[in-house]
Structure 1
Amino acid sequence: MGALHPRPFLKWAGGKTQLADALLQRRPAHFQTYHEPFVGSGAIFFRLYREGLIQRAILSDANAELIDAYRAIRDHVSEVMEILSGLPHSKEFYYKIRSQDPWSLSLPERAARMIYLNKTGYNGLYRVNRQGRFNVPFGRYKSPTYLDRENLLAASRALQHVEILCAPFDTVIERAEVGDWVYFDPPYVPVSQTANFTSYYANGFTLQDQERLRDICIALSQKEVYVMVSNSDAAIVRSLYASPYFAVDEVQANRAINSNGAKRGKITELVITNYRVDQLLEPRLQ
């Protein structure tokens, strides 16, 4: 990819790089501001940017360390790259930097630490314990690319005029206006006891949070805002969105993050919209 083609600079559980085609095929034909309240890897934002489909964006997340990484790449990318260039790839150094308190570091140092741990930690996971401390073990990589200068510079350019907020997902209701598009990619409802990534936040993402998300989607629909939600193909998700406001569509996705390689493969996920995909200019709420 060239300098004008930024990709996500972080790996993320549930990242949407491999689902981007299916999601973009289901986007509204026309929209004003793009909002992504669970930004994660930003795969959809970067894809929209690469294809020239976005004019204004507001990216947000409740994960303060993640949001600071975005802000650092936008505003201090040279400093982040300089710090990354001096970090050795070793198990000993990994645990040394992992033990640091990120909030004792400068913004560029904190972002460099997060990128380094993300690219050298086990399976590209971001996981925190109940105290909010990153606790992923060292990964098995021979030569991980945590300093990708070209892509970091491209990501920085893509983010230059983007508003980046540390905020709970429900605050999007205060920002989104008629004709905007909000894409929600929340921590998924687990389809089994072991498929649970709620440790993305130290306090988890509960069924009550999923219900609150559905309620926010209804409120946005009433404001004539386009809404898209990704989630697992779980009975509770289908039940939550069994409403005249929503259309539920199935897509095939790859399960990319699993400690057991045999359990990775094609699975069905749901894409929920408040407009008909076959008539993108006709919201279901009208």
Structure 2
Amino acid sequence: MVDCKPFIKWVGGKRKLLTELEKRVPSDFSAYFEPFMGGAALFWQLKPKPAILIDINQELVNAYRCVQQDVEALIVDLQKHHYDQKYYYQIRNSDRTSDYASWSNIQRASRFIYLNKTCFNGLYRVNSKGQYNVPFGRYKNPKIVDIENLRACSLALKDIEILTDSFLSIESKITKGDFVYFDPPYIPLNTTSSFTGYSSQGFDTETQIALRDLCLRLNKKGVRFMLSNSAAPLVFDLYSEFQIELVDMPRSINSKGDKRGKIKEVLITNY
């Protein structure tokens, strides 16, 4: 299998933490699950099969399916885009028009990837109506279409199941001997550090507790899991009965360059 990397940027993406993640992955497991796939950095690194990738974000899942099923058509459509502020807002605001409902899956995936490559800091954020609202980003020469990597990603996704669903949906699919990596929206360290707008539903404390409860049930079922989160006190309280390790994670999502150093995060495992 050829090397590949995430074809989108994603807040909380794990490319810079891959060494720490990979050395903690069990040496053998039956099936791989990733219910908050986002940029799916660990999946691209491992290329495990069988695997199930899940996310609640419909636009994200559609982009993955288009890369998987018709990457050449996606590449052709991506090549139509160009880096220009006026054009960016025209494409961004297309989901506010009546025509958007008739866009093809390829057109929507192309728009999604284009906006991701040219918006501010690669953020994905929607308003209460589910409309994308991230401003234009300033770059020297953003790579809107990476043909070689998209084709490599398409090969890696062959025979992979990609679902739009809640993380809770894995419980009916996963069995003893499987491995799941959870990378949920993090519990904020303070009131200004929350990035939970991946979908219009958000991800609150109650949902974090539901995730912990799922981990407890999976543990009893004999499923191994690894989970990433912030080093917030609540995380230590929620997962106190599992192994919790602190790791250094470079912090790149900040409007001020001098605030982008390293931050402590936690990796939680039940093995």
Please report the TM-score for the alignment, with normalisation by the length of structure 2: 0.96
The Cα offsets for residues 161-200 of structure 1, whole Å up to 9 and x where unpaired, read as 1000000001111111110001000000000111000111
State the distance in 1 between where 2:12 and 2:166 align: 18
* Counterpart Cα distance in 1 of 2:269 and 2:106: 37
Residues 180 and 226 in structure 1, CA contact (< 8 A), matched pair in contact too: yes
Aligned partner of 1:255 among 228, 231, 251: 251
Does 2:227 match 1:237? no
Q: Is the 8 A contact 1:38 1:169 kept in 2?
A: yes
Q: 2:94 aligns with which of 76, 87, 100?
A: 100
Q: RMSD of the alignment, in Å?
A: 1.0
Please state how far the C-alpha of 1:103 moved relative to its aligned partner.
Answer: 4.1
Alignment partner of 1:48 out of 46, 49, 62: 46
Q: CA deviation at 1:253?
A: 0.4
* Matches of 1:146 and 1:164, distance apart in 2: 23
Hey, what does 1:136 align to over in structure 2? Answer: 134
**Alignment partners' CA distance in 2, 1:105 and 1:179:** 41
Q: What SS is found at the alignment partner of 1:100?
A: helix
Q: Which of 256, 268, 271 is matched with 1:272 structurally?
A: 268
Q: Secondary structure at 1:200's aligned position in 2?
A: coil
The 2-side partners of 1:221 and 1:104 are apart by: 44
Among 72, 77, 88, the residue aligned to 1:78: 72
| TM-score between both structures, scaled by the size of structure 1 | 0.92
Structure 2 counterpart of 1:202, which letter?
A: S
* Equivalent residues of 2:187, 2:194 under 8 A apart: yes
Residue of structure 1 equivalent to 2:6: 8
Alignment partners' CA distance in 1, 2:33 and 2:101: 27
Separation in structure 2 between the aligned mates of residue 37 and residue 209 of structure 1, nearest angstrom: 14
* Structure-2 separation of matches of 1:85 and 1:197: 30
Q: Deviations over 1:179-228 (max 9, x none)?
A: 00010000000001110001112121000000000000011111100111
Residues 210-253 of structure 1 show CA distances to partners (whole Å, capped at 9, x for unaligned) of 0000000011111100111100000000000012xx11111110
**Alpha-carbon contact 1:61-1:166 (below 8 Å) kept:** yes
Q: Which of 83, 87, 95 in structure 2 is aligned with 1:89?
A: 83
Give the structure 2 partner of residue 147 of structure 1: 145
Gapped regions of structure 2 (runs ≥ 5): none
CA deviation string 1:15-43 (max 9, x = no partner): 00000110111111211110000000010
Letter in 1 for 2:116: N
One-letter identity of the residue aligned with 1:147: V
- How many residues were matched structurally? 267
Structure 2 partner of 1:199: 197
- The 1-side partners of 2:35 and 2:111 are apart by 23
Could you tell me how far 1:76 is from its partner in structure 2? 1.1
Give the whole-Å Cα distance in 2 for the aligned partners of 1:264 and 1:13.
13
CA distance in 2, matches of 1:103, 1:37: 27
Where do residues 23-34 of structure 1 align in structure 2 (5 Å cutoff)?
23-34=21-32
Is the partner of 1:187 in helix, strand or coil? coil
**More deviation, 230-239/98-107:** 98-107
AA at the equivalent of 2:121? N
Instruction: Look up the match of 1:178.
Output: 176
* % same residue: 47
Task: Verify the 8 A CA contact 1:103 1:110 in the aligned structure 2.
Answer: no
**Maintained 8 Å contact 1:128/1:134:** yes
